[in-house]
Amino acid sequence: MATPQTVQTEPQLRYLNRELSLLDYHLRVLALAEDQAGPLLERVRFLAISGQMLDDLFMVRVAGLQEQLIAAVAATSPDGLTAQEQLRAIRSRAQAIQSRQLEILEQELVPRLAATGIRIRDAADLEAPDRDYLARVFADQIFPVLTPLAVDPAHPFPYISNLSLNLAVLVRDPLRKESHFARVKVPPLLPRFIALPDGANFVPLEQVIAAQAQALFPGMEIIETHPFRVTRDADLDLVDSEAEDLLAAIQTELRRQRRHGRAVRLEVPPALPPAVLELLMRELELSNADVYTVGGLLDLAGLDGFCQLDRPDLKDEPWSPQTQPRLRDVEGEAPDIFEVLSKGDVLVHHPYDSFATSVEAFIDQAAVDPQVLAIKQTLYRTSGPASPIAKALIRAAERGKQVVALVELKARGDEQANIAWAEALEEAGVHVAYGLVGLKTHAKITLVVRQEGSRIRHYVHVGTGNYNPRTAMIYEDVGLLSADPNLGLDVIELFNLLTGYSRQRRYRKLLVAPTGLRAAIIDLIHKEAAASEGRVTIKVNNLVDPEVIDALYEASRAGTKVDLLVRGICCLRPGVPGLSENIRVRSILGRFLEHSRIFAFGGGRRARSYYLGSSDMMPRNLDRRVEAVVPVTDTALQKRFQEMLDVVFADNCWAWELGPEGEWSRVPGGDVDAQQRFQELARQRAAGNGTSLG
């Protein structure tokens, strides 16, 4: 075993930039839209996702860097770049991505969609019957909800809401010969594309409105119309983190954000008159660096509407999640999940294993079981009060059980939905809590307390994904169902920390952030560095934390083999001589969003230890969130975990590999599709023809 020596390198040689690595992830997603082997509407879906991801980048990351400039914060990123340098680099990359998005849409997807009978048309190219039809649709369905807003000394410039699509309309008074500017908001609740009577031709909504703009300004002359789009800072800023009523503080901040979120990006067409651009920039307080000229369709996220078309021939074959073998019906009767767990832990791998017959069934049985005394659950992103999870919690409360739901109000993008969810649960008698001041509760944990004879027994679920049946169908996640007494006590103490007054820092089995998760992971890495035949395998969404990265560098220099599967952002440089030559970094994309976080330590003749949990290796997760990571100790489940890792690292259909300069390249091959293999394994287990591990 080699003794690691500290290698002093410049920050830019030691770490990759977080924001630029995120944009590299955008490009890998965009490559799925380019993949000619993929089903056509799935390619459209990935292009829509790419558009949404770029919106998120500006709403959060660009907005944050601009805040640093406004506040004159002198800090640099771990790789040594200032906020200004990062913003310049982001602009260059974002412009290239936007150009590539439009190229894929116009040169690849639009012609191929047309060949299958789905046509995206320009309003100007329509024949008279179709124009007449759209005029009737406009009059009946669109005109009543439009509100043209003039801009002149008597009418101040209107507030342009975040991600809104708008029309800049130039009109002329025929009597006074004066020109005026007006803004028309394209209603976001209407379909993004209007279907013509044949159901095969579609026209962008903004073009339908522009073609009928005269109806909005009777007696005026329409000079020209141009679409534009504004992106604003969408990150909540809870200045009063000590607010007595967190719910009220979040609601106040959401109202403030809707009216006062700072503009960070303006998207305009090339033909927009300079005077109009100058007006928009002045009123939105933007500079030239914030303006993006887009020579095509705005709001590519709206393309997702095409994925709802009834065209199974253009989509992936539907996948039906399989019931985990130990949870399948017995002689036509649903299993007693508590009896199953009393005989051993159960591992579920979504969406290959059914969420409905595992996690949902666990909570549903707890809700109606007369021996269950209490249910406690964390909720980060949900599918609303109508979800099976919510209904089960409400049923439990109505039956007199002690039900606690810890709802995270600060889940970005879901704040309003979670407020509604929390209020509905509270009205039904569920005890609703909102977690700890200054921290997001991101842990995915459920506790069921059950009276069994003269003793109390605890059943738990710890997972990597949200308690959301919809995302469980498209997100790859893992979860552990267990009746382990020590794990149950840990989860009880974690809930006491979240809902009451506690300074709990040490747990029997759980690794918990922000109190000890980083230190525990680094200690496990260091132990591998000190061992012969050391090995570290980590699967996460993002690897950003410098301390964890440095520990992995030390392990590599000691000869430890390190395999990393990082779906999104990776700030570690693999394969650098003297620093990371023993580290391999891969990324897998595909039909299902790789979302699980898995950790494995040990190799050679030594037993391996395995963990799963909610936390990525990022400062925000390790320092500013409550996260829970649990060891998987059952031998059969460990074998299944290793099977999962073997399959994902063998993939050469969806896998990319990271080089030392930060460049990503497709792994050659094409004969091992990890996600397809997991479907095959799930079917085999359900049929009893393969391993029944877990």
Task: Give the residue numbers marked as catalytic.
Answer: 442
Burial classification of residue 625, based on how many CB atoms lie within 10 Å of its CB (0-12 exposed, 13-18 middle, 19 or more buried): buried
Q: Which amino acid is at 316?
A: D
How far apart, in whole angstroms, are the C-alpha atoms of residue 140 and residue 162? 27
Kindly provide the b/e burial profile for residues 282-300, where b requires at least 16 CB atoms within 10 angstroms of the residue's own CB.
Answer: ebbebeeebbbebeebbbb
How far apart, in whole angstroms, are the C-alpha atoms of residue 4 and residue 118? 60
How far apart, in whole angstroms, are the C-alpha atoms of residue 132 and residue 311? 28
Kindly provide the b/e burial profile for residues 662-688, where b requires at least 16 CB atoms within 10 angstroms of the residue's own CB.
Answer: bebeebeeeebbbbbbbbebbeebbee
DSSP annotation string for 117-147:
T-EE--GGG--HHHHHHHHHHIIIIIGGG--
Give the H/E segment covering residue 375.
strand 372-379
Would you state the structure tokens that stand for residue 494, as one six-digit string? 């974690």
CA 381 from chain centre, in angstroms, equals 10
How far apart, in whole angstroms, are the C-alpha atoms of residue 483 and residue 668? 43
How far apart, in whole angstroms, are the C-alpha atoms of residue 360 and residue 482? 15
Q: Is the distance from CB of 68 to CB of 75 less than 8 angstroms?
A: yes
Max distance between CA atoms of the chain, in angstroms, equals 91
Per DSSP (E only), the strands in 596-636 are 597-601, 609-613, 625-632
User: Which residue shows structure tokens 């007693």?
Assistant: 336
DSSP annotation string for 247-297:
HHHHHHHHHHHHHHPPEEEEEE-TTS-HHHHHHHHHHHT--GGGEEE-SS-
Would you state the structure tokens that stand for residue 244, as one six-digit string? 């007595």
Would you state the structure tokens that stand for residue 289, as one six-digit string? 């660096």
Q: Is the distance from CB of 538 to CB of 524 less than 8 angstroms?
A: no
How far apart, in whole angstroms, are the C-alpha atoms of residue 512 and residue 614? 10
Bridge-based pairing of strands 119-120 and 625-632 is: unpaired
How far apart, in whole angstroms, are the C-alpha atoms of residue 252 and residue 362? 36
